[in-house]
Amino acid sequence: MEKMEFHTVRGYQLLEKNKKLLTSAMEDYLEMIYRNSGPDGFLRTNKLAELLHVKASSASKMVRKLGELGLLKYEKYGVITLSAEGKEIGKYLLNRHNIIEEFLKTIGIRENILLETELIEHNVSSMTLRNINILVRFLISNPEILKRFEEFKTAYREE
């Protein structure tokens, strides 16, 4: 498995600063924009709407809100680019998503993993996320312990 790097303290600070301003939906939009901006560093509003399974008008409305917060720039014809702060928060949000998803996979969750990840990621503190990441790294680097966990889990279900 690929080793995940954790985000800087600055990422946490930006997220905490914006915590009162950013809703879970706003976080989802920023994460998706960051994830899909590509090598050119932009994403079109209609593509964002498609990726999030929302109407283009809903995506446009949210993009305007995020623009007002200084997290992105958008042009009338639907070109979205993240600001430096938006990129940093987007990177943190994508990393947070990946850590939670990897944790769930590591403990054996296979069904509805995207839903489970989405439900957890918006409600986890930075300290808890950091410790989840450490636990996952520990389990991956100690396969014998992970195997014992799997055996315990199987026996526990049978009790």
Domains identified in the chain, total number? 2
62 and 131 in a single domain? The answer is no
85 and 13 in a single domain? The answer is yes
Q: Is the pTM for the entire model greater than 0.85? A: no
Distance of CA 94 to the CA centre of its chain: 3
Domain range enclosing 54: 9-89
Point out the least confidently predicted range of 60-69, 94-103, 112-121, 148-157. Answer: 148-157
Encode pLDDT of 79-112 as tens digits. 999 999 999 999 999 999 999 999 999 999 999 9
Q: Is 104 within the bounds of a domain? A: no
Best CA proximity match to 12, nearest among 117, 110, 92, 118: 92
51 in Cβ contact with 114 (< 8 Å): no
| pLDDT of residue 20 exceeding 60 | no
| pLDDT of residue 14 exceeding 80 | no
Alpha-carbon gap, residue 8 to 2, rounded angstroms: 19
Average per-residue pLDDT for the chain: 88
Distances (CA, A) of 77 to 3, 30, 52, 151, 158: 38, 19, 19, 55, 58
Distances (CA, A) of 24 to 100, 103, 124, 157: 15, 20, 12, 34
> At 51, which CATH number?
1.10.10.10
Distance of CA 119 to the CA centre of its chain: 11
Q: Is 141 within the bounds of a domain? A: yes
The whole-number average pLDDT for the span 6-32 is 73
Residue 29 phi/psi, 5-degree rounding, is: -65, -50
pLDDT-derived band at 19 (thresholds 50, 70, 90) equals low
97 in Cβ contact with 117 (< 8 Å): yes
Please give the pLDDT value at position 17: 58
Distance of CA 23 to the CA centre of its chain: 13
Alpha-carbon gap, residue 12 to 6, rounded angstroms: 11
Please give the pLDDT value at position 1: 45
27 and 79 in a single domain? The answer is yes
Please give the pLDDT value at position 87: 94
Please give the pLDDT value at position 78: 85
Q: Is 149 within the bounds of a domain? A: yes
Please give the pLDDT value at position 96: 96
Write the single-letter amino acid at 152. Answer: F
Q: Is 13 within the bounds of a domain? A: yes
